């Protein structure tokens, strides 16, 4: 056959052949720009009342709600795997949920009890708590609801009080996920005033209104109860400049770390924040992202393990310092070899 090329490939490329470095495994290793390590992982876990309890979550195959004693065992396993930190989310008993989420202030609530138990048994692992009202409110919102409106300032008071109690019970990092204005500064002031200068704040700085939180709401039992949506407080997922403004504001108010949430559909936001603000930047690979990869993998539609590793490395490439992921123990095991 006569070549359809009017010039040779060397003439076209000027002899620059990018495939040269991809030829062997050793050269691919040498030029690899990003790596995923166990140090990048934060493991979110769900907590439920009881003893010796591991309750499957229908929408998240392979993820369980754990009673506090089991959470301690899992924290021990995570520490042995080298996972630096865990993040806890409670499934609160229905009768403890009310209009203002008042049970969040109870030092004996699931979150505070679990923090204390893990701190005592596994002091080497970092504990991140979400100072958010949604597991505690009867309406499933992350704020106090009055006449159909999520009221900002009163919610900030409630979340700030909760953050101090979580710190007093041993939380190392407070991660408020409610997106109220002023919460970071208020929490920083209150932590400092109460002697918790060393407790850090990871701001859910850019939390987008998203369909990808669906399975999480099943996990903490808010799915059916949520009235309306969260568009008056979460970011519109059409916006990028506004996300940068949110993150800038949180830095000014005292955030130590930023988080982008969800993860994979928002890699552009991660890159912008890292380039423009140069802060420790984290992604939350949320429940819906987990379940998509897991379900497709379990059905044999994709190679679940490869897709999991590819998605996590993508966060590193986008500029993340770490990732909250339900895959954490599975990945840590793989990375261990």
- Quick check: 286 binds ligand PBG (CB under 6 A)? yes
- Quick check: 130 binds ligand PBG (CB under 6 A)? yes
Distances (CA, A) of 331 to 14, 39, 74, 77, 306: 42, 11, 15, 13, 10
- Quick check: 177 binds ligand PBG (CB under 6 A)? yes
Pair of tokens at residue 319: 């500029």
- Quick check: 213 binds ligand PBG (CB under 6 A)? yes
Mode of pairing for the β-strands spanning 173-174 and 322-325: unpaired
Q: Which residue has the tokens 């002091």?
A: 123
Residue 258: CB partners within 8 Å, gap ≥ 6? 202, 203, 205, 206, 247, 250, 251, 273, 277, 279, 280, 281, 282
- Quick check: 216 binds ligand PBG (CB under 6 A)? yes
Count residues binding ligand PBG (CB under 6 A): 10
- Kindly tell me which of 196 and 234 has the beta carbon lying closer to ligand PBG: 234
Mode of pairing for the β-strands spanning 126-129 and 144-146: unpaired
Distance CA 167, CA 32 (A): 40
- Quick check: 250 binds ligand PBG (CB under 6 A)? no
- DSSP-based three-state secondary structure for 45: strand
- Quick check: 134 binds ligand PBG (CB under 6 A)? yes
- Kindly tell me which of 132 and 243 has the beta carbon lying closer to ligand PBG: 132
Stretch 290-319 residues interacting with ligand PBG (CB under 6 A): none
CB of 70 to ligand PBG, least distance (A): 19
- Kindly tell me which of 16 and 243 has the beta carbon lying closer to ligand PBG: 243
Stretch 75-114 residues interacting with ligand PBG (CB under 6 A): none
Residue from 67, 287, 311, 325 in contact with ligand PBG (CB under 6 A): 287
Would you please indicate which residues are annotated as catalytic (active-site) residues? Answer: 207, 261
- Kindly tell me which of 214 and 280 has the beta carbon lying closer to ligand PBG: 214
Q: Are the C-beta atoms of 92 and 111 separated by less than 8 Å? A: no
Read off the DSSP letter of residue 104: G
Element (H, E) at 86: strand 85-91
Pair of tokens at residue 53: 């309890």
CB of 8 to ligand PBG, least distance (A): 52
Distance CA 240, CA 233 (A): 16
Whether 246 has a binding-site annotation, put simply, is yes
Pair of tokens at residue 189: 């002031």
- Kindly tell me which of 8 and 227 has the beta carbon lying closer to ligand PBG: 227
Stretch 252-281 residues interacting with ligand PBG (CB under 6 A): none
Q: Which residue has the tokens 């568009």?
A: 231
Q: Are the C-beta atoms of 114 and 120 separated by less than 8 Å? A: no
CB of 157 to ligand PBG, least distance (A): 17
CB of 176 to ligand PBG, least distance (A): 9
CB of 177 to ligand PBG, least distance (A): 4
Q: Which residues are annotated as a binding site for Mg(2+)?
A: 246
Name the residues that contact ligand PBG, by CB under 6 A.
130, 132, 134, 142, 177, 213, 216-217, 286-287
């Amino acid at each position: 056959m006569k070549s359809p090329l009017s010039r040779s490939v060397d003439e076209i490329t000027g002899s620059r052949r990018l495939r040269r470095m991809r030829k062997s495994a050793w050269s691919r290793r040498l030029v690899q720009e990003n790596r995923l390590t166990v140090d990048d992982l934060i493991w979110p876990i769900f907590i439920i009342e009881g003893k010796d309890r591991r309750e499957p979550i229908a929408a998240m195959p392979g993820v369980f709600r754990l009673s506090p004693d089991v959470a301690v065992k899992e924290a021990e396993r995570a520490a042995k795997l080298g996972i630096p930190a865990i993040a806890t989310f409670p499934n609160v008993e229905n009768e403890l949920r009310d209009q203002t989420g008042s049970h969040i202030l109870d030092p004996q609530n699931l979150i505070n009890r679990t923090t204390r138990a893990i701190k005592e048994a596994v002091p080497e692992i970092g504990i991140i708590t979400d100072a958010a009202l949604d597991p505690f409110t009867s309406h499933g919102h992350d704020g106090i609801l009055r006449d159909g409106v999520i009221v900002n300032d009163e919610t900030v008071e409630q979340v700030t009080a909760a953050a101090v109690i979580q710190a007093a019970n041993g939380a190392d990092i407070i991660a408020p996920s409610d997106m109220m204005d002023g919460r970071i500064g208020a929490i920083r002031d209150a932590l400092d005033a109460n002697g918790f200068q060393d407790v850090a704040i990871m701001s859910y700085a850019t939390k987008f209104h998203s369909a990808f939180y669906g399975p999480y709401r099943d996990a903490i039992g808010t799915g059916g109860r949520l009235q309306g949506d969260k568009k008056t407080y979460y970011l519109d997922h059409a916006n990028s400049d506004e996300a940068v403004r949110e993150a800038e504001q949180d830095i000014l108010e005292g955030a130590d770390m930023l988080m982008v949430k969800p993860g994979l559909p928002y890699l552009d936001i991660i890159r912008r924040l890292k380039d423009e603000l140069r802060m420790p930047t984290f992604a939350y690979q949320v429940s819906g992202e987990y379940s998509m990869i897991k379900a497709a993998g379990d059905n044999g539609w994709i190679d679940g393990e490869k897709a999991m590793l590819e998605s996590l490395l993508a966060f590193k490439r986008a500029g993340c310092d770490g990732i909250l992921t339900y895959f954490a123990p599975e990945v840590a095991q793989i990375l261990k070899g």
